[in-house]
Structure 1
């Protein structure tokens, strides 16, 4: 009996367990998935929690219910990966050997990486919304906040869901308008990038929306420290931005397990072949989702597309066949813009997000790079799709793992 072990039961790991249980012969392969946490979070919902759009119950469930029958589930902390010995060491259970390993350990915020960020003011007037705890604490803060200088800030790239900070700024504008205090709130969006987003075409559209909503923009801001005593963030060029309420996206890092195991880069992400999803250092270890160092968005849609391609490549690896260099960095992201509207962007490694229709060429019903209520409805419907299809490994109809060029006015990314 051979062993396939999946590290992490988040979005990527759970999808892979559901895909592979249908593919691997049960008489030949045993699948094990390991995660120290009991709760599975719908992480896109963290964006909506601070604004009372979603409740806490809508963004979390017991993770075990999504692990398919026939897969061994171990709720345990992973101490070490020993790739030279094809072995995983757990905190209490002991050792597991594997023939194939899938690393799906995700990414975590690391506010301690920025001097002064995780200070006595953490969760008092400095918040994240990339964790359940942070989003919930921020919700409680916003319910009673009466206005002032709100700064929405990105520490450094890469981050999970690169559009989420922008969405937060747009939703904050809408939220304070609905509360009748928008004129009392000064919103500033602060980014280390030279524009609102990582892709120039999308940046142009998003910059227009920032201007339209009277959200100030500070670019090329590489944070050095948070002066929590004087309510300022300061970058290496000594530029200062004052805040009354700081909503920050701290440094995102891969799991510390990868550092302990000597398998990660400087940010603990796994060096991974961007087309096959096989790790660069070990033939029988694959990586997926936020755990990788791929130059693709760290987003749920990307993990979904990767999972379909990785499943095929694992089967090819088992059968001794060459791996397909098929993953193209495909990302498909709704951008909530407030007021019951959203944008949709669709792009990959080589193509910018541009105008067009999705998923049907010339028909839609979703419009690319244009605000619409239909896109907003698609964003809100995604929670149901996530819990009932995506993490169960069910293919989403009419949406291909690689980017379709039909119905899109394409421009290539300069590389």
Structure 2
């Protein structure tokens, strides 16, 4: 009997999972992908758009056209999932039954959760570059900016691509240097963390770069209000940070349809998931990939890529009644744009924080060190995304598990 696989979400995780499953299972299963529209946005490009380093038309392609032949596509939102009956209720009234459900609904921006953020000044003085309208509006604002204080604020975690706000600071430093007005622009990075990043070795490196570039760092600032009219951030403890232009990374939550599905999501709307098998903790026939998963790793595109191989293997094993593969180690790999045509690279997993060295071997790209090669690697990733990652192909020399070769682990242990 033909098995039915329904995939909620046609972004990075849903697309690569569908394509990998189609290749692995051939005609044994019916695969259906569901999403609310046909616009697949290359999200890493949103960082570059405000600085004129990317263009809107290059970032958006058809979701349907990224899917292999034989994969059905439903252009509809999802109302809710009935996990007891194994059915998905779509917003258009259609009901899809499933034998296996893959949740790839990503993370949702929730600027309305922060008092004042979407009020006075929204998209004229306060912005976010985490979606296409925000990044486009911010591009116009930066072109017209001639001096003053720009504050980049992370309201709370988790967020998609945790290094992107830091990258924005570094690219802004470069951008205003190129315009010849860097001395008239005060850049400030405001974070809820006690450092520049979530792990000590990377935090020290990135904080040092902020200092070298003359970018202020304000830590442990829990934003309670954004006053766009007066131009100030207000923390819950009463501290204030003034701005002329604010770039705010808003609170993130899980998809609305997860929140509407009884028993499916946690308090934030993400799906409790086994961190090694990617099988949900809700039902055995539900698997989760990408930002939708409540697992202890970054919500980054590289994580989704590395999860894909394990998830597909486990869907196959589940359908065959076999023991699942518990090999996903939280592998995360991020290029960090540092401006002036250079970038860093960080590579880590659940158990190992970013450390210096090289990736993927001792003769690879430098880790935690600015390099022109890393910048070129990030630029090249756009091509790999559309032509290798989304189609579900393995990247040569890049393994799902974090490689240990080439890394200097003694640094994380307090060595030099």
Shift of 1:325: 1.1
TM-score, normalization: structure 1?
Answer: 0.97
Shift of 1:120: 2.8
Q: Which runs of 4+ in 1 moved over 6 A?
A: none
2:78 is matched with 78
Q: Which runs of 5+ in 2 are unaligned?
A: none
SS in 2 for 1:5: strand
Q: Aligned partners of 2:370, 2:412: CA distance in 1, in Å?
A: 23
Q: Aligned partners of 1:396, 1:23: CA distance in 2, in Å?
A: 17
2:233 is matched with 233
Q: Residue deviations 1:82-130, cap 9 Å, x none? A: 0000000012251110000000000121000001011131101000000
1:382 is matched with 381
Q: Aligned partners of 1:96, 1:174: CA distance in 2, in Å?
A: 50
RMSD of Structure 2 on Structure 1 (CA):
1.2
Shift of 1:274: 0.5
Shift of 1:362: 2.1
Q: Residue deviations 1:173-201, cap 9 Å, x none? A: 00000001101100000000000011111
The equivalences for 1:185-224 within 5 A come to 185-224=185-224
1:391 is matched with 390
SS in 2 for 1:22: helix
Q: Which runs of 5+ in 1 are unaligned?
A: none
Does the 8 Å contact 1:88/1:95 carry over to 2? yes
Q: Residue deviations 1:134-190, cap 9 Å, x none? A: 001100111111111100000000000000000000000000000011011000000
How many pairs are equivalent?
Answer: 411
Shift of 1:226: 1.2
Shift of 1:412: 9.8
Q: Aligned partners of 1:87, 1:348: CA distance in 2, in Å?
A: 34
2:10 is matched with 9
Does the 8 Å contact 2:201/2:412 carry over to 1? no
> Bigger shift: 331-340 or 350-359?
350-359
SS in 1 for 2:390: helix
2:265 is matched with 264
Residue 23 of structure 2 is aligned to residue 22 of structure 1? yes
TM-score, normalization: structure 2?
Answer: 0.97
2:369 is matched with 370
Q: Residue deviations 1:46-78, cap 9 Å, x none? A: 000000001111211111110111001110111
SS in 1 for 2:53: coil
1:410 is matched with 409
Shift of 1:352: 1.1
SS in 2 for 1:117: coil
Q: Aligned partners of 1:413, 1:204: CA distance in 2, in Å?
A: 11
Does the 8 Å contact 1:352/1:411 carry over to 2? no
1:40 is matched with 40
